């Protein structure tokens, strides 16, 4: 059991904590082990981290909480989610688990149900799970066709303000590229800009893609918006829209941030092609976010056949090339992914196992913390640094082999140095939405 810090103490020390040096802004004076973990004391004063020093190096000034070598992480950053789709599984299950049926099932559910009264409790449910698990910042994609945009985006703006200080919330459109054409496209971009969001859509090899990309880059540039795309979410080696996005960013001299999510087909392409695409991504400064749990669920799924290819993009090769690489949770209990609890420890655990992010772990913990924080423009989030808010997650696991083997339900989440309520919302709260008249 992790010991909770004294609730009322303005100054206290988290003593004997294990901290991954890759998550520290300044690791000088600390000695790390073969997994890059150092034993440290973290002094907290007035809600901020006052100092991080080698364990026992100095005398404590206030109360002491001995974490007995338990690992301490900065709060997580979950930079690719779909909070508007979340938790609809029981009323809208995916009949065969395929991508096509996910798309069709969500489309029907959206048309039938997605009022603000339906969206708000489901979005808040996801946010409350995330907060309780230790996440401090989230980017969600929002389904944005013409009939839905006017409902979802103003609601997002309200919820973003309501959650300020607890979860930093960002949002991007997810729609087809044709939704950006002409006056309707201009109006959509204006609405998103007005609601503090960014633009994005689904890209794959389609006629007119280059022209469509130029259009969305221009809409974003004109309004100072960032871009976040769903890219090549298939195992088709001919799906090369990732490269076209990099070329469009360079061709348009785009000054904002660009993120490409999924990029599954990159893993199916010849080495020479991959190398050229990585060069362009690095040159354009594009960040990649991988969603390995959702990829495992949807990719290479055919009835009665064991999946061979798992659809996870080239995490190691991208990072080796200097391209920012993040891992995130994606969908949660909806037709695109039938499971999930908005827990970034689970996401990191699964990513380590799926993509071999161990041996060595290196700086992979940054993929769910500091790297997405940087991509989202949230300096100071997702790292352990003197002067930063004491937004920390304290685990009982002392080594990765312990942390990544148990679910850590007794973790302590500190926000501005205070332990927060980590009780998860009950599924019963959504019964009236997902079971309707049955309940
Ligand atoms: Zn997604």
As a 3-state breakdown, the chain gives helix, strand, coil percent values, each rounded to 5, of: 40, 20, 40
Model pLDDT, residue 6: 73
Contacts 24+ apart (CB under 8 A), 240-245: 240/205, 240/265, 240/269, 240/273, 240/277, 241/203, 241/204, 241/205, 241/209, 242/203, 242/266, 242/277, 242/281, 243/276, 243/277, 243/280, 244/203, 244/209, 244/210, 244/213, 245/203, 245/213, 245/286
What CATH class does 76-375 carry?
A: alpha beta
Structure tokens belonging to residue 361: 């772990």
- Report how far ligand 1's centroid is from the alpha carbon of 230 (Å): 6
- Report how far ligand 1's centroid is from the alpha carbon of 184 (Å): 23
Structure tokens belonging to residue 377: 């423009």
- Report how far ligand 1's centroid is from the alpha carbon of 87 (Å): 15
- Report how far ligand 1's centroid is from the alpha carbon of 98 (Å): 15
Range with lowest mean pLDDT among 7-11, 257-261, 355-359:
7-11
- Report how far ligand 1's centroid is from the alpha carbon of 428 (Å): 26
Read off the pLDDT of each residue in 364-372 and give the average, rounded to a whole number. Answer: 98
Model pLDDT, residue 154: 97
Cα separation, 140 vs 173, in Å, equals: 9
Mind listing the pLDDT tens digit for each residue in 76-90? 999 999 999 999 999
Of 309, 307, 176, 287, the closest CA to residue 236 belongs to 309
Is the pLDDT at 331 greater than 70, yes or no? yes
Model pLDDT, residue 144: 95
What CATH class does 11-74+383-419 carry?
A: mainly beta
- Report how far ligand 1's centroid is from the alpha carbon of 379 (Å): 24
Structure tokens belonging to residue 98: 């395929």
CA quadruple 85, 87, 93, 98: dihedral sign: positive
Confidence of residue 25 (pLDDT cuts 50, 70, 90): very high
- Report how far ligand 1's centroid is from the alpha carbon of 291 (Å): 8
Read off the pLDDT of each residue in 176-181 and give the average, rounded to a whole number. Answer: 96
Confidence of residue 436 (pLDDT cuts 50, 70, 90): confident
Confidence of residue 438 (pLDDT cuts 50, 70, 90): low
Mind listing the pLDDT tens digit for each residue in 182-208? 999 999 999 999 999 999 999 999 999
Model pLDDT, residue 1: 54
Name the packing angle between helices 209-223 and 241-251 (round to 10°).
50
Q: What is the mean pLDDT of the chain?
A: 96
- Report how far ligand 1's centroid is from the alpha carbon of 313 (Å): 14
Model pLDDT, residue 380: 86
What percent of the chain is modeled with pLDDT above 70? Answer: 98
Is the pLDDT at 4 greater than 80, yes or no? no
pTM more than 0.95: yes
Is the pLDDT at 8 greater than 80, yes or no? no
Cite the active site residues: 233
Cα separation, 377 vs 65, in Å, equals: 33
3-state secondary structure of 149: helix
Mind listing the pLDDT tens digit for each residue in 229-239? 999 999 999 99
Read off the pLDDT of each residue in 81-105 and give the average, rounded to a whole number. Answer: 97
Mind listing the pLDDT tens digit for each residue in 249-299? 999 999 999 999 999 999 999 999 999 999 999 999 999 999 999 999 999
Range with lowest mean pLDDT among 219-223, 337-341, 377-381, 401-405:
377-381
3-state secondary structure of 128: helix
Model pLDDT, residue 421: 96
Is the pLDDT at 5 greater than 70, yes or no? yes
The number of C-alpha atoms within 13 Å of 405 and in the hemisphere containing its C-beta is 7
Q: Cite the residue boundaries of each domain of the chain with CATH code 2.30.40.10.
A: 11-74+383-419
Read off the pLDDT of each residue in 327-335 and give the average, rounded to a whole number. Answer: 98
Q: Cite the residue boundaries of each domain of the chain with CATH code 3.20.20.140.
A: 76-375
């Amino acid at each position: 059991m992790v010991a909770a810090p004294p609730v009322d103490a303005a100054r206290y020390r988290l003593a004997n904590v294990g901290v991954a040096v890759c998550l520290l802004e300044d690791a000088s004076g600390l000695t790390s082990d073969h997994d890059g973990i150092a034993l440290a004391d973290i002094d907290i004063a007035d809600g901020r981290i006052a100092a991080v020093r080698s364990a026992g190096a100095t005398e404590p000034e206030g109360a002491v909480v001995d974490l007995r070598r338990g690992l301490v992480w900065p709060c997580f950053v979950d930079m690719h989610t779909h909070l508007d789709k979340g938790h609809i599984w029981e009323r809208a299950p995916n009949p065969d688990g395929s991508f096509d049926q996910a798309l069709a099932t969500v489309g029907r559910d959206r048309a039938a149900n997605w009022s603000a009264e339906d969206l708000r409790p489901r979005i808040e449910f996801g946010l409350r799970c995330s907060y309780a698990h230790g996440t401090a910042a989230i980017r969600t994609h929002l389904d944005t066709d013409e009939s839905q945009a006017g409902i979802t985006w103003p609601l997002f703006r309200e919820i973003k303000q309501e959650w300020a200080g607890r979860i930093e919330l960002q949002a991007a459109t997810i729609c087809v590229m044709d939704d950006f054409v002409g006056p309707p496209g201009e109006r959509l971009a204006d609405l998103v800009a007005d609601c503090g969001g960014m633009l994005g859509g689904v890209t794959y090899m389609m006629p007119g893609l280059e022209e469509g990309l130029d259009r969305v880059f221009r809409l974003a540039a004109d309004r100072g918006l960032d871009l976040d795309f769903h890219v090549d979410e298939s195992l088709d080696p001919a799906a090369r829209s990732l490269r076209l996005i990099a070329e469009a960013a360079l061709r348009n001299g785009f000054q904002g941030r660009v993120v490409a999510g999924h990029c599954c087909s990159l893993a199916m392409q010849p080495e020479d092609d991959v190398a050229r695409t990585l060069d362009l991504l690095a040159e354009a400064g594009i960040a990649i976010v991988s969603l390995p749990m959702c990829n495992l669920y949807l990719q290479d799924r055919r009835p009665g056949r064991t999946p061979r290819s798992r659809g996870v993009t080239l995490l190691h090769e991208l990072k080796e090339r200097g391209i920012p690489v993040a891992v995130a949770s994606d969908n949660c209990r909806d037709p695109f992914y039938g499971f999930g609890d908005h827990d970034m420890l689970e996401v990191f655990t699964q990513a380590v196992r799926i993509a071999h992010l161990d041996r060595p772990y290196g700086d992979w913990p940054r993929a769910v913390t500091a790297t997405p924080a940087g991509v989202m423009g949230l300096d100071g989030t997702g790292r352990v640094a003197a002067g930063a808010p004491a937004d920390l997650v304290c685990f009982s696991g002392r080594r990765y082999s312990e942390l990544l083997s148990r679910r850590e339900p007794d973790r302590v989440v500190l926000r501005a140095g205070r332990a927060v309520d980590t009780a998860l919302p009950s599924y019963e709260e959504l019964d009236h939405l997902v079971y309707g008249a049955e309940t």
